[in-house]
């Protein structure tokens, strides 16, 4: 599958279909970090050795008809900067992989499996599901892990678990994360209190594109901090338990709004819709904020005739790289803003 076909987000299962608790949980993601035994970590590898790793992983991957069907491999050094950034925007690779010369990724878009090779670790298996489906995401990642492990020798210590390049991933190598849409907890400033509680439970909150990124569009990623000394099942159970509390809080806020506060929120949501469907130019940051409002409006019944999954797709297709890739050329920031507004309008008014 060419990079162009990946742009058809209706084929990315995790955002084109709806899952449980989708009003608040946009997606459930699981990532397993694995390394090959007796091979230096990626940042210590020269180019030829790194290529060998890619080949080994591909060979292991190809042994499984399930994995091999409808999947493609993309080599970072063969992609343009815009294409690499677009894969980041689509949450198919990490920013780190995008900037790695020896990196590659195998993508199976329908189930949204992506296997990053030569990122921080030799192998990072990632699965994404719509809504709150962490267990399902873990089961699938685990299945991929098992298939690869049949053919590859992973660096594993009986006492510690899987060895990883960064000590924070040692043990299970598991990072489970939920992308949550929390507009009302953000607006009412309850979010900082909730996040400070969450961090005491061994969880960490990040912005949309992972570590060090800002929460735009009221989107937050909550994930486990600890990978060692706990079973995969416990890590996932813990995250689900916390998420259910957050879901309950956000929902209560949405339902409890009355009187003028409710009217002012409806007004803001409808204005955001009016701007998205009429503006001539929109920056990506503004787009995120407006889409956040409209998504909330869809779930609150204020905006009809739009499916939440359409808003989810908009959320990840308004980034600078996606917009440029779509136009087939580099664009100035103003040209991007024009093109983005046109694209959003076409999606919402169809």
By CB under 8 A, residue 98 contacts its own copies: no
Contacts of 249 (CB under 8 A, 6+ apart): 185, 190, 194
By CB under 8 A, residue 285 contacts its own copies: no
Applying the rule CB under 8 A, the residues between 247 and 266 that interact with its own copies are 260, 263-264, 266
174-181, strands of its sheet edge to edge: 72-75, 104-108, 113-117, 123-130, 25-34, 174-181, 219-224, 203-206
- Which residue number, 194 or 276, has a Cβ lying nearer to its own copies? 276
- Which residue number, 160 or 263, has a Cβ lying nearer to its own copies? 263
By CB under 8 A, residue 277 contacts its own copies: yes
By CB under 8 A, residue 55 contacts its own copies: no
By CB under 8 A, residue 338 contacts its own copies: yes
User: d(Cα 27, Cα 278) in Å, to the nearest integer?
Assistant: 29
Q: Which residues of 56-83 are buried (b: 16+ CB within 10 A; e: fewer)?
A: bbeebbeebeebeeebebbebeebeebb
CB of 242 to its own copies, least distance (A): 35
Mark out the alpha helices in the chain (DSSP H runs): 3-6, 13-16, 47-62, 65-68, 81-89, 95-98, 134-151, 183-187, 191-200, 232-256, 259-276, 284-299, 308-316, 320-327, 333-349
CB of 339 to its own copies, least distance (A): 12
- Which residue number, 13 or 266, has a Cβ lying nearer to its own copies? 266
By CB under 8 A, residue 280 contacts its own copies: yes
By CB under 8 A, residue 333 contacts its own copies: no
User: d(Cα 183, Cα 181) in Å, to the nearest integer?
Assistant: 6
- Which residue number, 159 or 350, has a Cβ lying nearer to its own copies? 350
By CB under 8 A, residue 270 contacts its own copies: yes
Using the contact rule CB under 8 A, the part of the chain among 49-57, 77-85, 214-222, 267-275 near its own copies is 267-275
- Which residue number, 167 or 274, has a Cβ lying nearer to its own copies? 274
By CB under 8 A, residue 193 contacts its own copies: no
Query: Which one of 274, 285, 307, 330 is in contact with its own copies (CB under 8 A)?
Result: 274
Contact 322, 89 (CB under 8 A): yes
Encoded tokens for 344: 């959003």
Q: Which parts of this chain interact with its own copies (CB under 8 A)?
A: 260, 263-264, 266-267, 270-271, 273-281, 334, 338, 341
């Amino acid at each position: 599958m060419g990079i162009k076909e990946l742009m058809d987000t209706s084929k990315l299962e995790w955002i084109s279909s709806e899952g449980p608790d989708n009003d608040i949980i946009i997606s459930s993601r699981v990532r397993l970090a694995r390394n090959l035994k007796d091979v230096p970590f990626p940042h210590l590898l020269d180019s030829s050795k790194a290529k060998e790793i890619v080949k080994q992983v591909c060979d292991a991957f190809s042994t499984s008809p399930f994995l091999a069907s409808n999947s493609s491999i993309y080599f970072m050094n063969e992609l343009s900067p815009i294409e690499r950034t677009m894969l980041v925007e689509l949450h198919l690779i990490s920013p780190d992989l995008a900037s790695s010369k020896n990196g590659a990724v195998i993508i199976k878009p329908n189930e949204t499996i992506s296997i990053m090779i030569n990122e921080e670790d030799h192998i990072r298996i990632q699965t994404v599901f719509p809504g709150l489906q962490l267990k399902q995401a873990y089961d699938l990642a685990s299945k991929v892990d098992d298939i690869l492990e049949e053919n590859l020798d992973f660096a594993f210590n009986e006492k510690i678990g899987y060895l990883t390049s960064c000590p924070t991933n040692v043990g299970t190598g598991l990072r489970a994360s939920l992308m949550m849409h929390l507009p009302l907890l953000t607006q009412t400033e309850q979010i900082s209190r909730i996040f400070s509680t969450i961090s005491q439970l061994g969880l960490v909150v990040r912005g949309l594109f992972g570590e060090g990124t800002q929460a735009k569009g009221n989107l937050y990623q909550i994930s486990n901090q600890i990978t060692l000394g706990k079973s995969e099942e416990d890590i996932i159970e813990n995250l689900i338990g916390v998420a259910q509390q957050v879901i309950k809080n956000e929902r209560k806020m949405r339902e409890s709004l009355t009187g003028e506060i409710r009217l002012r929120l409806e007004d803001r949501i409808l204005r955001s819709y009016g701007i998205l469907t009429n503006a001539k130019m929109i920056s990506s940051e503004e787009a995120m904020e407006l889409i956040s409002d409209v998504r909330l409006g869809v779930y609150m019944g204020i905006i009809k005739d739009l499916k939440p999954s359409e808003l989810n797709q908009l959320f990840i297709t308004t980034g600078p790289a996606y917009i440029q890739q779509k136009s087939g050329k580099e664009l100035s920031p103003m040209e991007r803003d024009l093109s983005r507004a046109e694209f959003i309008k076409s999606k919402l008014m169809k």
